[in-house]
Amino acid sequence: MVDRHYLVNFNSDNLPQYQTELLIVGGGIAGLYTAWKAIEAGLEVTLLTKRTIIDSNSDRAQGGIAAALGKTDSPELHYEDTMLAGAGLCDAVAVKVLVNEGPSRVQELINMGANFDRHGNQLAMTKEGAHSKRRILHAHGDATGAEIICTLMQQVLNQGKALVLEQHFVVDLLVKDGVCCGVLAYDERSQEYCIYWTKAVVMASGGAGRLYKYTTNPEVATGDGIAIAYRAGAEVMDMEFVQFHPTTLVLPNAPRFLISEAVRGEGALLRNSQGERFMPRYHGMAELAPRDIVSRAILSEMAATQKSYVNLDLTHIAADKIKRRFPTITATCAKYGLDITKEPIPVAPAAHYLMGGIKTNYNGLTSIQGLYACGEAACLGVHGANRLASNSLLDGLVFGNRIVKHLMKTIDGISLNKERFICQDLFEPAGDVEAISEQLKWTMGENVGPLRTIHRLTRALAFFEQNEWLKRHRCRNAREMELRNMLEVGKLITEAAMMRTESRGGHFRLDFPETSTRWEKHIILRR
C-alpha cells in the first residue's frame, strides 16, 4: 500500500517484523498504567518509548494528583471545580467518569506501594488553583510524579510479562482502510527501522511543550503522537488550547523550572516588582484563580512594570515548612543561589500542558479503528479549555483503565493484519534542523503564546506554510522526525487558534477578548 504521508521511504517486506497483542507508545503515567492493567488482564504487551522510560512530563509532576478522597470532599464537588475551570468546554460525561472513577484508580496506586505523604495515618492533601477543597495528594513534598512513575515501573518490569523497549522512536502508524494494524519504528541503538504488527495501538506519547522556547516540559515533549495520528488520518480536537503555567523560575543561566501551584496553595503570594500583591485585583480567588487567569494577570503586571518577571513570595511561611513541603523546589533554587525561605522567587508563565490532542471517545478509541489514545496526547474534552490543576495524572489513570476494559471485550475477535506498506517517493531534506527548531520555538512564543491576535497568527501560519520541512522530505534520523512532528503540531495549534474568534480558557485573542456562547463547540481537524 503506497501512502505519501510517511516520514521515510521504506518497504515493510524488507524490514525486521515483530508482533504483539497490544502496543503502547510512551512511558509516562498513561502508558505505564495502561501496560500494567493490560498485563493484569492477561494481554501480551510491548511498550515503546523514544528515550528512556523516565523521560516524561509525568516524572516531573510536582504538585500532585487530584482525587475526592477527603472526608469533606466528594466527586460532585470535584466535578463542579473541573467544569468551572474548563470554561464551558468540558464534556460533562467525561468529567463525571474522571471524578467518579478517579478515587479507585488512586487507591490502586496506594495499594501497589505509592508512598504519598501523610499526617499520621491520614493522607496529606493540599489545595491548588480553582479547587474548592484540599484534594491534592502529593509524595516526598513535591516529587509526586517521580514517585508514581517509580511505582508503576516496578509493577510493569517486575512482572516480566511486558516487553519494554527504550530508544525506539515510533515513526508512523500503519493504517489500511481505516484500521490500524501496526507501527513503523526506528531503533536508535541499531539505527534500523522495524515493523510491529499488533491488534491495537495505545498512543500515550505525551504533550508538546517543546514547541515553545519557555516550557516546563522535558526535551521529549515534541507532540510526536499527535502528529503521527494526524498523518494517519485521525481526528484531533481543541488544539488551540495550550495551558501556560503561571509560575516558572526566571533566573539567569537557569532553565524554566516549574514552581508548583501547590506553593500558592500553601499560602505563597504573587507580588509585582514594586512589591505590590496584585492577584486580588484580577479574580476573587486571588492566587488560586484558574491558571489561565493567573498567567494573564502576571503578563499584565510584567508589561505595566516593564519587567520580565513577577515575584512569588513565601518568606512569610515558616522556613522548616517550606523545606519539608517543597524540598525539590528549595534545592533547585538554592542551586542557582536563591534561598526561597528568605527571598521571593522570580517567576513568569511558560508552556505547560496541551488540552487538545487526538480525539477519543469515553473508552479512549480514536477515529481510526484499533488506535486508542490516553493521557496528554489524547483529547476527550475532559479538561475543556483550561485543565484544572492536578487532573492530568488522574486523566492518564482513569482512561488507561477504560481502554483496557474495552479491549478485553473486543480483542479476541481481532486478527493480526500484516499488510504490505511501501513509501518510496520522498525527497532529500533541506535546511539546518537546529536552526529551524529555534525558529519554530520563537514563532510559537511570539505569535501563538498566551496572548494572540490575527496578525500574530497570520505570521505564524506563513512560517509553517513556507517551511520546506512540511513538504515531502525524507527524515534521516530521530531528531529530524521530531522536528517534522513539532512543525505539524505547531501548524495545527495555529490553524485552530485562527478559527476560534473568541477568548476562552487557555486561548486568548486580544482582538476578540470576549467569550462567545456561539463558540461553545469544539474545533476538530483531520488531514
CA 440/CA 392 separation, integer angstroms = 26
Q: Which phi and psi (to 5°) does residue 177 adopt?
A: 55, 40
Position 35: which residue type?
A: A
Q: Which of 396, 11, 395, 376 is nearest to 193 (CA)?
A: 11
Angle at 516 (CA atoms; ends 282, 348), nearest 5 degrees: 35
Cell of 202: 495505545
Position 420: which residue type?
A: R
Q: What separation in angstroms does the CA of 490 have from each of 60, 207, 463?
A: 23, 12, 10
**Among all residues, which ones are annotated catalytic?**
291
Task: Write down how long the chain is.
Answer: 527
Q: Which of 422, 425, 476 is nearest to 14 (CA)?
A: 422
Please tell me what DSSP assigns to residue 71: T
User: Which single residue is written with the C-alpha cell 508563565?
Assistant: 349
**Side-chain half-sphere CA neighbours of 187 within 13 A:** 13
User: Which single residue is written with the C-alpha cell 516526598?
Assistant: 140
Alpha helices, H only, 326-380: 327-335
DSSP lists the bridge partners of residue 312 as 270, 345
Q: Which of 425, 439, 441 is nearest to 473 (CA)?
A: 425
How many whole angstroms from its chain centre is CA 255?
19
Q: Which residues of 12-40 are buried (b: 16+ CB within 10 A; e: fewer)?
A: beeeeeeebbbbbbbbbbbbbbbbbbbbe
**Side-chain half-sphere CA neighbours of 421 within 13 A:** 29
